[in-house]
């Protein structure tokens, strides 16, 4: 089964957030998928943590080594459809990419981002919830 995972899920796992074990358990038998933009979004999240003094460069490099071990199926998404979803649901393009990816794969979306989850529901995407 394919599951589209967003940046918030990957970051939570990489940074050992309290929800990490539940996320891993929920996705054990699945193929994890994401739009190809995920790599750059991970980099952006790490750079934001530098600015907030939450992460050092050494720690970020350790995080990236772990990230490279996560088996991910990166999917090309249609930019035109993504812009349309962005306009229709009032989200940034980087959130729309995940919605378009889930739609393309007919897969549920796993996200910890409330705004993305709301837009995905509005777009008819099934959510996968983890508690």
- Per-position DSSP letters for 37-95, written without gaps between them: THHHHHHHHHHHHHHTTS--HHHHHHHHHHHTTS-EEEE---HHHHHHHHHHHT--HHH
What band does 49 get if pLDDT is binned at 50, 70 and 90?
very high
Q: How many domains does the chain have?
A: 1
- Taking residues 80-105, report their average pLDDT: 97
Domain that holds residue 91: 2-122
What percentage of the chain carries pLDDT values higher than 90? Answer: 96
Phi, psi (5° rounding) for residue 54?
-95, -10
The Cα–Cα gap between 73 and 78 comes to: 16
Q: Give 127's strand partners.
A: 109
What percentage of the chain carries pLDDT values higher than 70? Answer: 100
Look at residue 28 and tell me if it is in a domain. yes
pLDDT of residue 37: 96
Burial 45-81 (b: 16+ CB within 10 A, else e): bbeebeeeeebeeeebeebeeebeeeebeebebeeee
pLDDT of 131 above 90: no
Look at residue 128 and tell me if it is in a domain. no
pLDDT per position as a tens digit, 84-95? 999 999 999 999
Which residue from 84, 94, 88 is spatially nearest to 116, judged by alpha carbons?
A: 94
Which residue from 52, 71, 59 is spatially nearest to 10, judged by alpha carbons?
A: 71
Look at residue 105 and tell me if it is in a domain. yes
**Given the structure tokens 């309290």, which residue do they identify?**
18
Look at residue 129 and tell me if it is in a domain. no
pLDDT of residue 111: 98
pLDDT per position as a tens digit, 20-40? 999 999 999 999 999 999 999
Report the phi/psi class of residue 50: left, alpha or beta, with left for phi > 0 and alpha for psi in -120 to 50: alpha
pLDDT of residue 2: 97
What CATH number has the domain bearing residue 97?
3.40.50.1010
pTM of the model: 0.94
């Amino acid at each position: 089964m394919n599951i589209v995972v967003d940046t918030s899920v990957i970051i939570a796992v990489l940074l050992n957030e309290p929800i990490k074990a539940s996320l891993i358990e929920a996705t054990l038998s699945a193929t994890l998928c994401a739009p190809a933009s995920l790599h750059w979004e991970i980099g952006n999240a790490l750079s934001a943590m530098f600015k907030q003094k939450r992460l050092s460069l050494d720690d970020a490099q350790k995080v990236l080594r772990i990230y490279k071990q996560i088996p991910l199926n990166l999917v090309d998404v249609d930019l035109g459809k993504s812009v349309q979803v962005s306009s229709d649901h009032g989200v940034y393009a980087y959130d729309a990419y995940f919605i378009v990816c889930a739609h393309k794969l007919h897969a549920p979306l796993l996200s910890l981002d409330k705004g993305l989850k709301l837009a995905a529901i509005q777009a008819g995407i099934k959510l996968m919830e983890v508690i």
